[in-house]
Structure 1
Amino acid sequence: MIRDSFYDYLLLVKRYSLHTLNAYKTDLLQFQEYCDNSYNLTDDTRVTYPIVRSWLASLVDSGLSARSINRKLSSLKVYFRYLLKEGFISENPLLRATSLGMPSRLPVFVSRNEMASVLHESNGKISFNERRDMLIVEILYCTGIRLSELINLRLNDLDHAAATIKVTGKRNKQRIIPVTPSLIALIDEYIGLRSGIVSPGVSEIIVTDQGKKAYPVFIYRKVSRALEAAGVKGRRSPHVLRHTFATHMLNEGADLNAIKELLGHSSLAATQVYTHISIEKLKSIYKLAHPRA
C-alpha cells in the first residue's frame, strides 16, 4: 500500500537522512499491516479517518507512549499530504487527526559545579585517548552541537582567524558558532597528537583509538564515562551536554534568539523550553530564600 515513490521523495526532494527514512518506513509499514489485518485494505486511496482513529486507539491500548504515537501519526500525516499533493487522493483523511497530549518534560542538564568537576584538567602528561575524551566533552559543552554534528566536524571547519567552527546540522543546514581561544588551543593540541594516529583520508576531527571516524555509540560512551567519573547522577549523554550549554547560556543572560541560532533550531518554540528551566530555578531560589515561601 505504501508507495515507493514517497520514500524517493523524502530522500531526494526533502533530503532526509537514511535514519529518518527508516523511521518513516517503520511507522508506515506498521500502519499498512494494521489496515491489511483489520480491514483487509491494501489501497491507500481508501483509507478513512475512522480507520486512522481506530489504529491510534490500538496503539494506545498496546501501551505505547504518547510521544511514540505522535511520531507515528506525524509520519502518516506527511505521507497523506504527499498523496494529496501528487493527486493520488482528493481528500486528506488525516485533517481531523490530532496529536495526543503529552506531559511536559524539562530537559536534563548538568549543574555548573558538576561541569567544573567534569572539565577538571589532569596534571602531568596525558595520552592521546585522554586528550580526545576530554575534548569531546569540551566541544559539546562549549558549543551545544549535536552528537551527529560533532562526528562530522572536519579539520577545515575550524577557522582559527575568526575563532569559529562551521557546523553542518539537520538537512545539511550550516551555521557558524564562535569558540573560545582556550577551546581552539585544546583542539590544536589534540590535532598534534592525532596526526600520529589518524588513518589516511580521515578528515574528521574526532577519531577512534584506531584513527577512524568516530561513531555515535563511541561518543556516547565517552561522554557517559566522563560524567559518571565526576559524580553526575541521572542521564549522562551527549544531548544532556547540549541542554547544559543552552541552560547555562540562558541563566547567564544570553538572548533566546541567539541561543536558537547557536543550537540550530528551526523555530523559537524548540528553544523556549529552556526558559521553563530558568523559571524552575527561580522558584527553588524563592522557596529557599523568602520567609513566607
Structure 2
Amino acid sequence: MNEIDAFLRYLEQERRYSLHTIKAYRKDLEQFCTFVNTKVEDFEATQIDTADVREWIVQLMQDGGSSRTVCRKLVALRSFWKFLMMMGKDSRNIMRNVVMPKTKKTLPVFYRQEHVDEALQQVLDDEYETILSYTVINFLYQTGARRAELIDLKDEDVNLVEGWLKLHGKRDKERVVPFGDDLRDTLQRYRECRDAEVQRVDSGLFFLLKSGKKLYPKKVYQIVHEGMTQVCTQKKQSPHVLRHTFATQMLNNGADINAVKSLLGHASLAATQIYTHTTFEEIQSIYKLAHPRAQKKEEL
C-alpha cells in the first residue's frame, strides 16, 4: 500500500474522520502529487522538501486559489506529514517552516428570527414531503445539528418522552442535545406520518425519503434552500446557516458560551467564539441609547 492510501485509511479507521473529509484530503494530496510530477502510487516523501511546498503555494495563488482554499490544502499536507513522521517514513518535519497564507476573518451568516419564524409558519398539509421539509428545517434550527448528523440520526437516538436526542458528530463523537415542546410535537407528527406512509429500506434511520431510502446531503440542502428562499433574500442559504443561526441566537439571548460549545459539538472554545457577534441593528440601538449626541433632540 502506498503512503497516501495508508494515511487515508488511518484517518478513516483510527481517527474516524468523515468520508467527506477523507475525499477532500485525497483530492488535495493527488493535486500535490501532480504538481511534483509523480503518481500517487509512486510518491516518495523523502524526495520532497519545504521548497516544493512553498512553490506549490505560489502556484495555487497564481491559479486564483483563495487564501482559505490554500490553507485547507496545507492542513491536509501537514496532517499527512505528521502521519509519515509517526510511522517512521520520514524524520524531517518539512511543514514546520511553511507559513500559512493569512485569511480574512468573516462573520458567520445567519437568519433573522423573523425569517425563521415565517418559514415555520407555513400551513402543514398531510403530504409527506411537506411534513419532512418542515421537520428538517425546524430540527436544524432548534438543535444546531450538522447536516450529516441529521442524516445519520436513528430512531433510537430520539427520546420524545424526556425531550433529548443523541447526535453522532465528527470522528464519531456523541453528544446529547435537549429540545422543547415545539420540536417534540414536530418530531412526533413527522414520525407518525413516516410510519404510516413510508416502507422502510434503510431501517433504523429517523429521517427517510418517501421511497424509504436514506436522506442524502443534496436533498437536505434543497429542502433548506427552497424553504428559506421563500422568506429571505440573502445570498447564502444552507443547512449550515441554520446551525449558525442556532448558535448566534443562543449566545445573543444569554446562553453560556461553554454550554453552546457542548451543544454544537465543538472541540475548542475558539470555534464557538466566532458566534459572539452582534448585528448592525443591535449596535445601532446601543449607540443611540448610550451616546449623548445620538439622542433625538426634544422639540422646543
**Fold equivalence (TM over 0.5):** yes
Q: 5 Å matches for 1:134-173?
A: 134-173=134-173
Q: Which runs of 5+ in 1 are unaligned?
A: none
Distance change (3 Å), C-alpha of 1:176 and 1:219? same
Q: Which runs of 5+ in 2 are unaligned?
A: 295-300
Query: Which residue does 2:231 correspond to in 1?
Result: 230
Distance 2:213 2:155 in 1: 14
Aligned letter for 2:33?
Q
Q: Which whole-Å deviations, capped at 9, do the CAs of 1:228-260 have from their partners, x for residues lacking one?
A: 112342211110100001111111100111111
Query: Which residue does 1:194 correspond to in 2?
Result: 194
Distance change (3 Å), C-alpha of 1:288 and 1:110? farther
Query: Which residue does 2:286 correspond to in 1?
Result: 286
Conservation of the 8 A alpha-carbon contact between 2:4 and 2:29: no
Number of residue pairs the alignment of both structures matches = 288
Matched, 1:207 2:181: no
Aligned letter for 2:65?
L
Distance 1:85 1:181 in 2: 50
Distance 1:291 1:104 in 2: 32
User: How many angstroms does 1:170 deviate by?
Assistant: 0.7
Q: Secondary structure of 2:196's partner?
A: coil
User: How many angstroms does 1:62 deviate by?
Assistant: 0.9
User: How many angstroms does 1:32 deviate by?
Assistant: 1.2
Q: Secondary structure of 2:182's partner?
A: helix
Query: Which residue does 1:6 correspond to in 2?
Result: 7
TM-score by length of 1: 0.92
Q: Secondary structure of 2:52's partner?
A: helix
Distance 1:233 1:3 in 2: 40
User: How many angstroms does 1:160 deviate by?
Assistant: 2.5
Q: Which whole-Å deviations, capped at 9, do the CAs of 1:215-240 have from their partners, x for residues lacking one?
A: 11111111111111123422111101
Aligned letter for 1:119?
L
Distance 2:82 2:222 in 1: 39
Conservation of the 8 A alpha-carbon contact between 1:2 and 1:32: no
TM-score by length of 2: 0.90
User: How many angstroms does 1:90 deviate by?
Assistant: 1.8
Distance change (3 Å), C-alpha of 1:281 and 1:81? farther
Distance 2:100 2:279 in 1: 27
Conservation of the 8 A alpha-carbon contact between 1:197 and 1:210: no
Q: Secondary structure of 1:36's partner?
A: coil
Distance 1:211 1:88 in 2: 47
Q: 5 Å matches for 1:103-142?
A: 103-122=104-123, 125-142=125-142
Distance 2:274 2:90 in 1: 38
Q: 5 Å matches for 1:45-56?
A: 45-56=46-57
User: How many angstroms does 1:198 deviate by?
Assistant: 2.1
Aligned letter for 1:236?
Q
User: How many angstroms does 1:285 deviate by?
Assistant: 2.5
Distance 1:167 1:142 in 2: 13
Q: Which whole-Å deviations, capped at 9, do the CAs of 1:59-106 have from their partners, x for residues lacking one?
A: 111110111100110111111111111111122111011211111111
Greater Cα offset, 153-162 or 163-172: 153-162
Query: Which residue does 1:254 correspond to in 2?
Result: 255
Conservation of the 8 A alpha-carbon contact between 1:198 and 1:212: no
Distance change (3 Å), C-alpha of 1:232 and 1:117? farther
Sequence identity of aligned pairs in percent? 35
Conservation of the 8 A alpha-carbon contact between 1:114 and 1:232: no
User: How many angstroms does 1:2 deviate by?
Assistant: 4.5
Distance 1:288 1:114 in 2: 25
Distance change (3 Å), C-alpha of 1:3 and 1:229? closer
User: How many angstroms does 1:280 deviate by?
Assistant: 5.2
User: How many angstroms does 1:282 deviate by?
Assistant: 4.2
Distance change (3 Å), C-alpha of 1:244 and 1:94? same
Aligned letter for 2:186?
L
CA RMSD between the two structures: 2.0
Greater Cα offset, 41-50 or 80-89: 41-50
Distance 2:239 2:196 in 1: 27
Distance 2:235 2:287 in 1: 24
Aligned letter for 1:141?
Y
Distance 2:224 2:150 in 1: 12
Conservation of the 8 A alpha-carbon contact between 1:36 and 1:42: no
Q: Which whole-Å deviations, capped at 9, do the CAs of 1:88-142 have from their partners, x for residues lacking one?
A: 112211101121111111111111111111111417x432221111111110000
